[in-house]
Amino acid sequence: MAGHSKWSNIKHRKAAQDNKKGKIWSKCSKAIMVAAKMGGGDPETNLSLRYAIDEAKYANMPKDTIKRAIAKGSGDTSGADYQDVVFEGYGPGGTAILVLTLTDNNTRTVGDVRNIFKKRGGSMGNAGAVAFMFQTKGQIIIDASKYDEDTIMDKALEAGADDVQAPESADEENPGVWTVLTDATEFITVKEALEADGIEILEAEIARIPENTVPVAGDDVRKVMNLIDTLEDNDDVQKVYSNADFNIEDLGRS
């Protein structure tokens, strides 16, 4: 999700993920198995697998579990035939929502996603309804309490990053995060260059970044969060992106 307090949003999401770690690892395993089945079990030659493994590592998934998922996917000559399907819709407050899924039963997933939108105050749109509002970019998140502006700016831009976004609403207690954005084709190069320079990365992914955000306030904050959380809790849903802009602390005031 977007948000003018991205560090708070990340902490909130990580806390939620800790409460359902088994489900998060299951989604990571599915992504790894599908990538391995489609492109082989070598991440050096299979970029999709490499992305999936990295995201599993950021989710603190055990190495042995990752290896088992690769082996299972590489050796799976039958089994479920998963498809990447993207759903688009609208959330409370006029927000745009993108839902990325891996499904072996599109009819089931369409019904599930549509019902979630309906029950949580949104509506599912047609293909192309909101996708144009998002760009596919590499996104790298770095703890701002550990690195100053000159260090991150110099190293990221030298490595080929497109942009470095400063922490939002930062203070001593909430230092925020640096957000490094890259072209999708330069994502791995920039990430590896930062890691080689000793930069600790909190999160890194190929993400759907909204070109513009929609301010959300009042009761709509909780409604949007409930919609996103319910979508993410669905077994077929891998990721959810929104152009909603709010502070996660507003949940306590909504």
Which CATH fold would you assign to the domain 83-132+213-248? Answer: Alpha-Beta Plaits (3.30.70)
| pLDDT at 14 exceeding the cut of 50 | yes
Structure tokens at 128: 């192309």
pLDDT interval class at 7 (50, 70, 90): very low
Distance CA 15, CA 18 (A): 5
Map out the domains of the chain as residue ranges: 6-74, 83-132+213-248, 133-210
User: What is the percent of the chain with per-residue pLDDT over 70, rounded to a whole number?
Assistant: 85
- Which numeric CATH code is attached to 133-210? 3.30.70.980
Residue 5's identity, in one-letter code, is S
Helix 47-58 with 187-196: angle, nearest 10 deg: 50
Q: What is the mean pLDDT of residues 16-36?
A: 84
The answer on pLDDT for 164 being more than 70 is yes
Predicted confidence (pLDDT) per residue in 181-239, tens digit: 999 999 999 999 999 999 999 999 999 999 999 999 899 999 999 999 999 999 999 99
Class of domain 6-74 (CATH, top level): mainly alpha
pTM of the shown model: 0.87
Q: Per mean pLDDT, which range of 12-26, 35-49, 148-162 is the poorest?
A: 12-26
pLDDT of residue 132: 96
* Same fold for the pair 6-74 and 133-210: no
